Chain A
Amino acid sequence: MNKVIITVLGKDRPGIISQVSNILYELGCNLENVNQMILQSQFAGFFIVDPPPDKDLEMLSQTLIKKTTASGLSIHVDTIDGGKIGKEPLKGETFLITTIGPDQKGLVARFSSIIARHNVNIENLKAVFKGGRDPNANIMSYQVFITQDIDTAKLFEALRQTAEELDLDIRIQHKNIFNAINKI
């Protein structure tokens, strides 16, 4: 069977990772990747596992759901493509697009649409809108991977124009500048 991705959602509390990983261990799954994040009070975790040959998707899903129902977690299990070995990685560069300014409805929708329209992939997005007067309390930061075939100037121009219309300060910087300053 292909690799499996298990998505775990629920109210954050101590022990979620422990509970899920122990169930997977008992099922004989090999854990390949785990990532988790907490948005406000909500936990979201992603587990990519290589299941043993005798366990099918249905069985994994049923077991996980059954053993976590009482703890209020929502579980989704699906197969994934294991990745095509030998595939050439795309050539390109990673930029950070950061906007700072007043909170308005539809900000993420508008900016992500521009990025999508230019066929650019968002690798990571962080958006915090706390309102109030502190400019640093309302920030969006998109980490995007721009491949060589993308018209960068056109994308940046569109982003800057939208930021200006929305009265946002926008910075578009290659990620290496953040590495240089922050990662020693």
Chain B
Amino acid sequence: MFEDHEIISTIEMVKNENLDVRAVTLGVNLFDCISHDLEMFKKNIRKKIITHARNLVTMCDAVGEKYGIKVVNKRISISPIALVGACFSSDQMVDIAHELNAIAKLVNIDFIGGFSALVEKGIAPGDQALIDALPSALAQTERVCASVNVATTRAGINMDAVLAMARAIKKAAELTSDKDGIACAKLCVFSNIPQDMPFMAGAYLGVGVADAVINVGVSGPGVVKRAIEKNLEAHPNLTLGDIAEIIKKTACKVTRVGELIGREVAQNLNISFGVVDLSLAPTPTVGDSIGEIFQALGLTNIGVPGSTAALAMLNDAVKKGGAFASCHVGGLSGAFIPVSEDLNIANAAHKGFLSIEKLEAMTSVCSVGLDMVPIPGDITIECLAGIIADEMAIGMINSKTTATRLIPVPGKKAGDKVYFGGLLGEARVMAVPNLNLCDPFVRYGGQIPAPIHSLKN
């Protein structure tokens, strides 16, 4: 039997601190679906995905019900379409996106990720077709998520791809100008993209993994925040070292919940279990926020001096706790700071505590990048490409994942309100200094070489 405090604390984590499993993502390998015939290819991927995913949602709900822990999102990641559909034109790629959207609706999942290309060292015809298809594909579908990896620590940064992505992002925003450029909320540009990440919009199934695999994204910012608050209330003289220990222990518990549920879903679906992604993923709900953790740590708001240090400590403690809890850790595994998806962070940006420059600095110590950041729609392609390149450089040099999910909101200026809805949230457009510059730097193109520490062999 369990002690009273064990029962109560477990129930409180679910009831009051928003503990849930943020995403169970089924990865499906599509390499055996390849065909030069578009209709045949679509038929093959439909059959394969549905075969594996038919019972995904009902199984996640059943397992969630059994443990009293909700699996919030059920998703699918697939092999990069630029690879498995390399022979198709950009128009045909858009057609494939429609097919994926229809499949996602059929199996009742909210997002399917893997409309992706890996172009860190060059753009092949299939990659180009996919990049060209991105704006239309994302504007015309609701559930398809795309990602393009333009840099790695081993390869450097493909600046041609960076510029191409800046163009694609601008165009995708324009095609969805009536919805605040929402197409861009489903598009990530990556440095060092993980191939087993369960979180959208960047999830895809890597080429070196199993035919079908279940990856799990845990949650728990509310749990971490309450753990800090409760301990500080009981012991006001705690040091930051003590608090890091508390975060670590809490992350360990959260991770074990995710792995328990992920493994049971995988076992019941007869699919291999992949990884637990330890990321603290916020939602726009009060009490489920990364920004609130900064306030629990004694900072006025996320973005004020001290925020980068606090995030570094948080990110590290989460990794350590998670790594202790599970041997199968992967994906991004750290803290997310998505602006519109976290009400507290969105408010901090609106009140002037958090600037895009500070946000960029913070991404050098956490697991993502400039995530869900609405920016003025009239930003130049060169300036947008420059921001992407800067973020990619942080990832490349630090041997870590970084990404951008920037939304240049058509017709809107800094401070204007944007609304994406659901988990994508809402925010004010963040100011971008010098957004009218057309500096030629990004137009020189080519490859920024890999850093010296990539020469490891």
Contacts and interface: CB of A to CB of B under 8 A. Distances in A.
Interface of A: 96, 98, 100, 123-124, 126, 128, 136, 139, 141, 143, 169, 171-178, 180-182, 184
B13 A173 contact: no
- Interface size bracket, B side: 20 to 34
Given A174-B67, A180-B256, 6 more contacts: A96-B7, A100-B11, A126-B1, A141-B2, A141-B4, A180-B259
Nearest to A182: B6
A141 B8 CA distance: 10
Contacts of A175: 2
Contacts, number: 66
Nearest to A143: B1
B15 interface: yes
B4 A139 contact: yes
B166 interface: no
B66 A178 contact: no
A181 B10 CA distance: 7
A153 to B, nearest CB: 10
A96 B10 CA distance: 11
B179 interface: no
A162 B418 CA distance: 45
B2 A178 contact: yes
List 3 A-B pairs, minimum CB-CB distance, nearest first.
A173-B68, A180-B256, A182-B6
B253 interface: yes
B7 A181 contact: no
Contacts of B69: 173, 177
Nearest to A156: B65
B424 interface: no
Given A98-B11, A171-B14, A176 B67 contact: yes
B240 interface: no
A124 B2 CA distance: 10
16 contacts: A96-B2, A126-B4, A141-B4, A171-B68, A173-B67, A173-B68, A174-B68, A176-B67, A177-B67, A178-B6, A178-B10, A180-B253, A181-B10, A182-B2, A182-B6, A182-B10
B348 interface: no
A135 B183 CA distance: 45
B79 to A, nearest CB: 32
Secondary structure type dominating chain A contacts: strand
Contacts of A172: 68
A126 to B, nearest CB: 7
Identify which of A98, A176, A178 gathers the most chain B CB atoms within 10 Å of its CB.
Answer: A178
Contacts of B257: 177, 180-181
Q: Which of B9, B11, B14, B325 has the most chain A CB atoms inside 10 A of its CB?
A: B11
Interface in B175-190: none
Contacts of A177: 10, 67-69, 257, 260
B200 interface: no
Interface in B39-75: 66-69
Contacts of B15: 169, 171
Nearest to A100: B11
Contacts of B3: 182
A176 B2 CA distance: 11
A165 to B, nearest CB: 20
Contacts of A136: 8
Contacts of B253: 180-182
Contacts of A141: 2, 4, 7
B1 A98 contact: no
Nearest to A177: B67
Contact of B1 (A100, A124, A169, A171): A124
Nearest to B63: A174
A139 B8 contact: yes
Nearest to B1: A124
A181 B15 CA distance: 15
Nearest to B14: A171
A29 to B, nearest CB: 27
B252 interface: yes
Contacts of A178: 2, 6-7, 10
Contacts of B68: 171-174, 177
A172, A176, A180, A181: which has the most chain B beta carbons within 10 Å? A181
Contact of B7 (A98, A169, A176): A98
B62 to A, nearest CB: 11
B253 to A, nearest CB: 5
A126 B257 CA distance: 24
B4, B68, B253 — most chain A CB neighbours (10 Å):
B68
